[in-house]
């Protein structure tokens, strides 16, 4: 043994085993790696979204949202239909509607002034009892016209509704009556039946009954009032005439300087109501 072999580092080298070259650990194949190695990110996204996985709670929320949206759509459509007539009206039609509203306001103002005049006459008359009798007689005539117990005449219009298809119903004639009253009609007669405050209309087969009296087409209205207010009220966009024409009825409206409403109603004694002055 040489001195070189006696060196400590050589002695330690002999005692250690020979170094073994480290080999790279073999990686185990990942399941599904081959199946997904050729799939793009977009395809993996589609696979994750379809087919959809919907829970019961999500389905209930979706149904509730659909119902809410449908209700809002119906509400919007309803409001749009109710306003479509005026939205599509011409400028001159809108001006005429405004004029009609102004006329109604003026009539109410005139009535107010008339009542104030009567009050002043009663307060300032030297013979208040006689003045009260005169006003009572005049008021009785006016109430008789409104109640249909006396005949009336004056300027107004006539309206004839020819219903060959049998499509005109009681509610359409009632709309005409209400529109005429709103326009200032003071006396109305339909096919020989006087229309008063408690008049009712109902369908009777293919005809209409007014206060239980069956009337048939053509329906003829005789109306006393200011013709300049009554006729435009029937012809406003979306009004009585247009509604009846949509039902394939023919409507004719004419003004007249003298309309006679001679159909009468019997005065009915109220069963319970009594004058508070008695």
Percent of the chain whose pLDDT exceeds 70: 76
Question: In this predicted structure, which of 30-34, 48-52, 257-261 has the lowest mean pLDDT?
Answer: 30-34
48-106 residue pLDDT tens: 666 666 677 777 877 788 888 888 777 776 666 555 666 666 777 777 778 888 888 88
Question: In this predicted structure, which of 32-36, 106-110, 160-164, 255-259 has the lowest mean pLDDT?
Answer: 32-36
Strands (E), 61-143: none
Dist. CA 128–CA 131, nearest whole Å: 5
Long-range interactions of 91-96: CB distance < 8 A, separation 24+: 93/236, 93/237, 96/232, 96/236
pLDDT band at residue 32 under the 50/70/90 scheme = very low
- Report helix, strand or coil for 161: strand
* C-alpha triplet 10, 11, 17: angle, nearest 5°: 95
pLDDT band at residue 171 under the 50/70/90 scheme = very high
User: pLDDT at residue 36 above 70?
Assistant: no
User: pLDDT at residue 178 above 60?
Assistant: yes
Strands (E), the chain: 152-162, 187-190, 193-195, 201-204, 207-210, 213-215, 219-224, 250-261
Q: Check: CB of residue 197 under 8 Å from CB of residue 139.
A: no
Is 0.85 surpassed by the pTM of this model?
Answer: no
- Report helix, strand or coil for 28: coil
Question: How many helices (H) does the chain have, and how many strands (E)?
Answer: 9, 8
Please enumerate in sequence order all residues whose Cβ is within 8 A of that of 2, keeping only pairs 6 or more positions apart, or say none: none
104-157 residue pLDDT tens: 888 888 888 888 887 777 777 656 677 777 877 888 888 888 888 999 999 999
pLDDT at residue 81, rounded to an integer: 59
pLDDT band at residue 6 under the 50/70/90 scheme = low
pLDDT at residue 42, rounded to an integer: 76
pLDDT band at residue 14 under the 50/70/90 scheme = low
């Amino acid at each position: 043994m040489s001195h070189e072999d006696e060196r400590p580092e050589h002695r330690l080298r002999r005692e250690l085993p020979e170094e073994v070259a480290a080999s790279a650990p073999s990686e185990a194949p990942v399941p599904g790696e081959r199946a997904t190695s050729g799939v793009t990110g977009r395809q993996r996204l589609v696979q994750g979204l379809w087919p959809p996985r919907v829970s019961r709670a999500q389905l209930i929320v979706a149904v509730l949202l659909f119902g809410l949206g449908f209700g809002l759509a119906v509400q919007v459509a309803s409001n749009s239909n109710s306003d479509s007539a005026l939205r599509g009206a011409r400028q001159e039609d809108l001006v005429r509607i405004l004029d009609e509203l102004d006329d109604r306001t003026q009539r109410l103002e005139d009535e107010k002034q008339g009542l104030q005049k009567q009050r002043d006459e009663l307060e300032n008359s030297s013979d208040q009892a006689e003045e009260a009798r005169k006003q009572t007689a005049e008021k009785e005539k006016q109430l008789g016209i409104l109640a249909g117990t006396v005949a009336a005449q004056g300027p107004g219009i006539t309206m004839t509704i020819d219903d060959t298809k049998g499509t005109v119903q009681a509610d359409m004639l009632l709309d005409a009556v209400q529109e005429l009253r709103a326009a200032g009609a003071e006396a109305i007669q339909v096919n020989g039946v006087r229309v008063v405050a408690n008049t009712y209309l109902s369908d009777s087969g293919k005809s209409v009954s007014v206060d239980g009296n069956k009337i048939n087409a053509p329906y003829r209205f005789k109306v006393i009032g200011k013709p300049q207010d009554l006729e435009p009220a029937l012809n406003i966009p979306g009004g009585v005439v247009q509604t009846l024409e949509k039902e394939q009825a023919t409507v004719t409206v004419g003004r007249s300087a003298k309309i006679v409403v001679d159909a009468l109603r019997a005065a009915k004694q109220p069963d319970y109501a009594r004058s508070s002055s008695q």
